[in-house]
Amino acid sequence: MLPNTGKLAGCTVFITGASRGIGKAIALKAAKDGANIVIAAKTTHAHPKLPGTIYTAAEEIEAVGGKALPCVVDVRDEQQISDAVEKAVKKFGAIHTAFMDMMGGSGIESQCRKVDIIADAAYSIFKKPKSFTGNFIIDENILREEGIKNFDIYAVKPGHPLIPDFFLDEHPETVTKKMESQDTVPEVKEEKPQPQPKPRSGAVEETFKIVKNSLSDDIVKATQAIYLFELSGEDGGTWFLDLKSKGGNAGYGEPSDRADVVMSMSTDDFVKMFSGKLKPTMAFMSGRLKIKGNMALAIKLEKLMNQMNAKL
């Protein structure tokens, strides 16, 4: 773990979403130096399944040596952000800001790292001069520069293959092989195809026609996956995208073989996603998209959709 140096003593850090998770981990890391922490989050009452509020986070921050200012802030409300900044300036003076996004998925904890890696990476950034601003930073890279070599200390389950990152252009097929070799890819329950009524003509059917016409042997060879879409709403039902069979196939109903990935969403979101108006990552993070099966192959589909956007 990256040791605290005390360099942030007296600095003010404005952290959104600091009532729990990654935001709170960053806050506690900085607080150990004696930093002033502005806890900008919406949670004022504990959720039954997600404990922690801006007030309990403030108690934890002050317990480890920092100073806390809990502020009720919905980051979608510009006025609330301005009010929080004004309160912070009045209490602490000038602000050294930080904004962190987090993503995760239920049931895949063993394929993830602890929030401590983000806290340490953020702490490393905070130590740098103001001229460092504007850089795009990957947590693992900056921690390697700090001398960290053993990243198992950050793993939820040390030695377990990690899920690929949605935001990085890595090579998910490499991770997929590692996951399959350790039986970590959850199986999608195979069910016998059920007869379904012919769907109404609409945007979903039109989207699948365009997708089907865009398929090629090269795309199939590069993907090697079967996707099943469980769509709700008008023109919904079960649809599939077969990128394993020669030439590929897509349409209404069940695929000829077991699906590697099952995606559940509304028909409206499906059309927006394939036309580039809705990022799959954001749909997944917000709960509008549910994914079962091989996450590495799900990421492959996102990259494929980016190539198809121009035609859709």
| Spatial contact of 7 and 41, defined as CB atoms under 8 Å apart | no
Give yes or no for residue 259 having a pLDDT over 80.
Answer: yes
Beta bridge partners of 71: 40
Round to whole Å and give the CA distance between 156 and 163. 12
Sequence length of the chain is 312
In sequence order, the 6+-apart residues with CB closer than 8 A to the CB of 82 are: none
Round to whole Å and give the CA distance between 37 and 48. 26
Task: Read off the tokens for 8.
Answer: 């942030």
For 266, the enclosing helix (H) or strand (E) is strand 261-266
Task: State which of 9-18, 58-67, 207-216, 274-283 shows the largest mean pLDDT.
Answer: 58-67
Round to whole Å and give the CA distance between 173 and 302. 14
Give pLDDT tens digits for 177-193: 544 454 444 445 555 55
Round to whole Å and give the CA distance between 26 and 4. 12
| Spatial contact of 72 and 54, defined as CB atoms under 8 Å apart | yes
| Spatial contact of 238 and 269, defined as CB atoms under 8 Å apart | no
Angle between helices 295-308 and 172-181 (to 10 degrees): 160
Give yes or no for residue 297 having a pLDDT over 50.
Answer: yes
Q: What is the pLDDT of residue 95?
A: 74
% of the chain with per-residue pLDDT over 70 = 80
CA triple 245-251-257, angle to 5 deg:
40
Q: What is the pLDDT of residue 277?
A: 85
Span 203-231, average pLDDT: 90
